[in-house]
Amino acid sequence: MNETKFTISDDRKTLFVERKFDAPVSKVWDFWTEQELLEQWWAPLPWKAVTKSFEFGEGGHWHYAMTGPEGEQHWGWMGYLHIDPQKNFRGNDLFCDEAGTVDRNLPTADWHNEFIEDGNATLVKVTTTYNSPDELNKVIEMGMKEGLTMTLNQLEELL
């Protein structure tokens, strides 16, 4: 199994994540950009990602809930700002409620995904930049590294 690599920037506001997948860019891209595929791996088990609304396109968004085994829900929103098909996409990642109202008490991030062909494999680079080191620390304390590693492992199994 490929490993997930995490690096924090010198200013402590940006988290860099790298993961290689033994699949072509087109297939990996689809799993990040198609609702039905994204829902299969995005939440760490036993949690599930449940979509309320989804439109992958510039100006579009993904409004979803991480739903736990007891029915608990944590809502998220990814607003898509820029898309270069099968190369990269950028958006705003934030916590919200079921109505899509931003939770100003939790961090927001500029999220940038890159998909790089590496022979028959794909290197995915995820860069998340926060407003302050405190915001990055908060999401790390909330389990971002562990959760993202689990979900990327699930993605690898599906691919």
- CB contact at 8 A, 63 and 93: no
d(CA 16, CA 96): 23
User: Exposed, middle or buried by CB within 10 Å (0-12, 13-18, 19+), for 33?
Assistant: buried
Domain holding 135: CATH number? Answer: 3.30.530.20
Give the range of the structural domain holding residue 62, as residue numbers without chain letter: 5-158
Low-confidence ranges of the chain (pLDDT < 70): none
pLDDT tens for 29-40 read 999 999 999 999
Residue 69 is predicted with a pLDDT of: 95
- CB contact at 8 A, 135 and 145: no
Residue 65 is predicted with a pLDDT of: 97
Residue 1 is predicted with a pLDDT of: 76
Number of domains in the chain: 1
